[in-house]
Amino acid sequence: MVLNAIERVLRWLTALSAVALLAMVLLVVADVLRSNLLRRPIIGAIDLVEALLAVVVFLGLPQVIFAEGNITVDVIDHFIGKRAVALLRASGGLLTFIYLVLLLWHMFAPAIDTLTFGDITADLKLPVFYIWIPVLFGMAASALAALMVFLRQFRGSNEAGKR
């Protein structure tokens, strides 16, 4: 049940990421039309595109991690047994989890700096920390997804060993 709930959350995050991508496309088109037809570009379009890109990437990432969509080189599979492949997959999953947790942990310091120093975006003067919120949330969800993938692969390697 917990697994189902987490999967549902990951799908919702992907849906939000898709909405952000659509918003980015519409914003860019609106900006092009206003700049060329009315000679009045949308102020802050660049700030918004940058913020939307962060939302697209970090809210989309957890589902990609969960679906094991990372690019992996699998040449070795032809030379070793199934159990060894399962073990390598599980080790890859563990390293992915460690990598994402390390990233998450060390992303807090620069995020808090933007809050402490009151960093703002160039045109809209929005607090940069606002952009950090979905970024940190997405990173935490990605780390959680990586943990679940690792547990799944670990069980898979045990089963491959029993067979």
Partner 1 sequence: MAVQTIGLIGMGCLIALIFLRVPVGVAMGLVGLCGYAAVDGWAKAFRVFGEVPFDVATNYDLSVVPMFVLMGEVATQSGISAQLYRAARATFSGMRGAQALATIGACAGFGAVCGSSLATAATMTRIAIPEMRRAGYDDRISTGSVAAGGSLGILIPPSIVFVLYAIISQQSVPKLFAAGLIPGIVLAALYMVCALVTLMVKPSWAPSESAGSWRQRLHDLVSAWEVVVLFGLSIGGLYAGWFSPTQAAGIGAFSALALGLVRRGLDWNGLVQCFADSIRTTCMLFLIVMSAFIFSYFVVQTQLPGVLVGWIQASHVGPIWLIVILMLFYIVMGCFMDGGGMVLITVPIFLPLIVANGYDPVWFGVMLVVVVELGLIHPPVGMNIFVIQARVPDVPILRVYQGIIPFLVAPMILLAILVAWPQLALWLPNLLYR
Using rule CB under 8 A, residue 140 touches partner 1: no
Using rule CB under 8 A, residue 130 touches partner 1: no
Minimal CA–CA distance to 141: which of 53, 55, 63?
63
Mask for 2-41, x = binds partner 1 (CB under 8 A): ------------x--xx--xx-xxxxxx-xx---x-----
Q: Rounded CA gap, 22 and 143, in Å? A: 26
DSSP code of residue 36: I
| H or E element that contains 126 | none
Using rule CB under 8 A, residue 51 touches partner 1: yes
Using rule CB under 8 A, residue 63 touches partner 1: yes
In order of 48, 55, 94, 142, the CA distances from 135 in angstroms are 15, 7, 22, 10
Contact residues toward partner 1 (CB under 8 A) are: 14, 17-18, 21-22, 24-29, 31-32, 36, 46, 49-54, 56-58, 60-61, 63-64, 67, 69-77, 85, 88-89, 91-92, 95-96, 98-99, 102-103, 105-111, 131-132, 135, 139
